[in-house]
Amino acid sequence: MHSFDVFHHYERKHWRLADVPWHEVRKDLVRPEYVTMAKSAVMGEANSIAAQHGFLNEFDDYDFSAFVAIWGYEELQHHFAFRTWLNAVGAEVKPAAVEAMREPYDPGSTPCATLATNIISELTVNHIYRAVAAWVEEPVLRGIMSSASIDEAGHAREFLHFARKRLEAHPEELPSVLETLHVYTGEQRIKHPVGVFKSELVALKDHETIDTAFEMFLEQVATTGELEKLQDNIRRAFASLTGMDVSSNARVRRRLAEALAA
């Protein structure tokens, strides 16, 4: 069972909030942009509860469900780590905004599309956390960003494993995978499921969201070609998943048309 191996791997490399040197927080190095980034991260990570709800309803695979329980714990840890840092620097997150994140997602067009969406979300957040970790000067937030980035890379790897397994058993779901890739990489902006499905919630009005972080990232953190680098990384993952050349939007559209016609 794959989740059995994942559990043992996570236990060996897992970091704990109790090990974070909270006493070393440097308030003198905190900038308003760091607080915005942390609040946005809290809102993105708060969706792990809704996502677990959706996964467990949509999938009847015990192995994947066990992985979801492991994944959900780590995502909740990220949420609490960013909130703890915000508390340490005297900033707060509105409880009503977090509560609004509990609303479960609708299932994807196919189970494989759901897995594909999460591959994209994990790779996106991994990339951004890593870049932000190199950008911030406050050491404790930098450490949290770095640790969370490593976790997200592992999550992407496991979602790829389960998506590959699902696609092998259900090749008819290939068009939905290609469609998902096109939806999230077909525009010159960063798209994430939390922003796509929950940006219009009333409780989020006048509050930082995950899209706030993405906009700030592109404006203040990203280097030239950063968005293209992220999207290329996502397309490489999907090339590995599908065995197809999906290295550009045009190629993704072509592969999708071919898959629909097959």
- The closest of 217, 260, 220, 165 to 41, measured between CA atoms, is 217
221 secondary structure, DSSP code: I
Residues 6+ apart with CB under 8 A from 177: 112, 113, 116, 163, 167, 238, 241, 242
Q: What is the pTM of this model?
A: 0.94
Q: How far is CA 15 from CA 11, 243, 256, in A?
A: 9, 34, 40
Q: Which string of b and e fits 15-35 if b means at least 16 CB within 10 Å?
A: beeeebeeeebeeeebeebbb
Q: Is residue 174 a contact partner of residue 93, using CB atoms and an 8 Å limit?
A: no
**Cβ-based neighbour number of residue 89 at 10 Å:** 17
Paired tokens of 213: 């972080």
Average pLDDT over residues 241-251: 96
196: amino acid identity, one letter: V
The overall longest dimension of the chain from CA atoms, in Å, is 61
Angle between helical axes of 48-58 and 111-135 (0-180°, round to 10): 160
- Taking the mean position of all CA atoms in its chain, how far away is CA 130? 13
Q: How confident is the model at residue 197 (pLDDT cuts 50, 70, 90)?
A: confident
Q: Is the pLDDT of residue 211 over 70?
A: yes
List domains and CATH numbers for the chain.
27-261 (1.20.1260.10)
3-state secondary structure 108-159: CCCHHHHHHHHHHHHHHHHHHHHHHHHHCCCHHHHHHHHHHHHHHHHHHHHH
The pLDDT assigned to 188 comes to: 84
The pLDDT assigned to 198 comes to: 67
pLDDT above 70 covers a percentage of the chain that reads: 98
225 secondary structure, DSSP code: T
Paired tokens of 206: 């006048």
Tens of pLDDT, residue by residue over 64-93, are: 999 999 999 999 999 999 999 999 999 988
Tens of pLDDT, residue by residue over 19-62, are: 999 999 999 999 999 999 999 999 999 999 999 999 999 999 99
Residue 184 CA to residue 163 CA, distance in Å, equals 17
Residue 245 CA to residue 251 CA, distance in Å, equals 7
Q: Is residue 183 a contact partner of residue 249, using CB atoms and an 8 Å limit?
A: no
